[in-house]
Amino acid sequence: MAQTAATPLTGPHVSRIHNYACHCLGLKSYFQQPGDGRAHPHISASDLVCVVVIGRILRVTSFLRLEWLVHSQARAGLGLKAPFGDDVLAYCTERMDPETTRLALAAALHQAKRNKAFENSRFIGLAVDGTGAGRTYKEPCPLCDPIKDAKGEVHGSLHHFVLISVVGVGLTLPIDVEPYGPGDSEYAAAQRLLRRVIDHLGPRFADYLVADGEYATAPFLHTAGELGLPVVARLKENLPLLAAAVRARFDGQPPQAEFREGDDRVEIWDYDHFDSWETLNWPEVRVLRYRQYKRDGTVVEAEWLTDFAIAKLGSLSFYRMAKSRWEIENQGFNDGKNRYGMEHICHHEPNSILIVWLLILLALVIERLYRLRYLHRGEHGIRSAMNLLDSLWLSLGTRNRPDTS
Ligand SMILES: [Zn+2]
């Protein structure tokens, strides 16, 4: 109890996180010039962007709630001289250039790599997946995708985007999002996103790309290949010939290898000479099947394909890469939506929606690197996300923390 009680006194303040982001992640120039497109701003974009990012770390997930915060006694702790209204945030985010924030995210990840944030991981992964958020019944914006029932009746609309994130390194760090509206597709958006991210991060930043079965199509795999990224993708029935060949080879055969991973026992089948399908330019396809026996008695079985050569990637590493895909679901979409407000539309305008999504990613990157890589090194007494959150609220001098459950 004594340590818990002492934590807020020795705990980090908001300004320390800001200093960490500026000096350890190289974001100082970004926070000074975050891509403001307004002609005559009264409140600097620097202040607005800092407050949105710190606000997300504090899990303040609406512009109205931020307006409340900057009018409260917490304003000094946020480093702000004057308060502002939610309309200023709406006006500014409508006019910001998303490329500036995207480049800042890539630069922060580069800096994290240089700071050896991933040094205990042999392979750095990228995971890609799509989702929908911000359901609304209001007048549609250009990004609004109508939600139709079986009879074709519309019940509001949803905003779709593809997310790409660093995975497989012990902490999940989202990098970029690409929205797609009606007439566009997840699949096309994912290819645009992948090209842009590799352009920003460079071809040697990551070692593999992991994705679910719907991405296991020749054009997507070819795009990844052009960008120099081996792919690990779930094998499903959308590739019936390959799935049948895998069953013919593996069914009824004893596993080739078996290992323990945590509490689980895992059996492995792994073969690298399956025929490529006709549209795919790979000479052969390697497929891994795993059967995972969990402690509670459940058994999970799945198959994954890759163009990684067996000589470069053992079965256990292949299995771990496949499992790293879950990070984008759990630490990407679930955390992003349930804790950091990715589900909520602050201002219903396409550029503002995109900017807020990108600023949420930036908040996640800063919070995770600060907590798990920076504070971790010292005796700060901070361990969990909730512990850091409580410390930050107490350091702001307000106990009126929003409900984050
Ligand atoms: Zn909309």
Instruction: Please write the tens of the pLDDT for every residue from 314-369.
Output: 999 999 999 999 999 999 999 999 999 999 999 999 999 999 999 999 999 999 99
Distance between CA 340 and CA 48 in Å, rounded? Answer: 17
Distance between CA 227 and CA 213 in Å, rounded? Answer: 20
CA distances in angstroms from 293 to 250, 271, 330, listed in the order given: 18, 21, 21
In the reported structure, the alpha carbon of residue 186 is separated from the centroid of ligand 1 by a whole-number distance in angstroms of: 16
- For residue 333, give every residue at least 6 positions away whose Cβ sits within 8 Å of its Cβ, in sequence order, or none: 129, 131, 163, 342
Residue 18: predicted pLDDT: 93
Given a cut of 60, whether residue 405 has pLDDT beyond it is no
Residue 81: predicted pLDDT: 85
Given a cut of 50, whether residue 6 has pLDDT beyond it is no
Distance between CA 205 and CA 208 in Å, rounded? Answer: 10
Q: What pLDDT band is residue 7 in, cutting at 50, 70 and 90?
A: very low
| Cross-strand bridge partners of residue 286 | 306
Mean pLDDT of 121-136: 96
- Which of 2, 61, 148 is CA-nearest to residue 364? 61
Residue 5: predicted pLDDT: 37
Answer whether 325's CB lies under 8 Å from 335's CB: no
How many beta carbons lie within 10 A of that of residue 109, not counting itself? 26
In the reported structure, the alpha carbon of residue 34 is separated from the centroid of ligand 1 by a whole-number distance in angstroms of: 24
In the reported structure, the alpha carbon of residue 5 is separated from the centroid of ligand 1 by a whole-number distance in angstroms of: 45
In the reported structure, the alpha carbon of residue 215 is separated from the centroid of ligand 1 by a whole-number distance in angstroms of: 26
Q: What percent of the chain has pLDDT over 90?
A: 84
Q: What pLDDT band is residue 403 in, cutting at 50, 70 and 90?
A: low
Residue 378: predicted pLDDT: 65
Given a cut of 90, whether residue 283 has pLDDT beyond it is yes
Given a cut of 50, whether residue 385 has pLDDT beyond it is yes
Q: Which of 10-19, 282-291, 294-303 has the lowest mean pLDDT?
A: 10-19
Average pLDDT taken over every residue of the chain: 92
Q: What is the pTM of this model?
A: 0.93
In the reported structure, the alpha carbon of residue 27 is separated from the centroid of ligand 1 by a whole-number distance in angstroms of: 30
Q: What pLDDT band is residue 45 in, cutting at 50, 70 and 90?
A: very high
Given a cut of 90, whether residue 1 has pLDDT beyond it is no
Mean pLDDT of 169-192: 96
Given a cut of 50, whether residue 11 has pLDDT beyond it is no
Residue 401: predicted pLDDT: 54
In the reported structure, the alpha carbon of residue 346 is separated from the centroid of ligand 1 by a whole-number distance in angstroms of: 11
Who has greater pLDDT, 73 or 383?
73
In the reported structure, the alpha carbon of residue 140 is separated from the centroid of ligand 1 by a whole-number distance in angstroms of: 5
Residue 87: predicted pLDDT: 96
In the reported structure, the alpha carbon of residue 158 is separated from the centroid of ligand 1 by a whole-number distance in angstroms of: 7
Residue 402: predicted pLDDT: 56
Residue 379: predicted pLDDT: 62
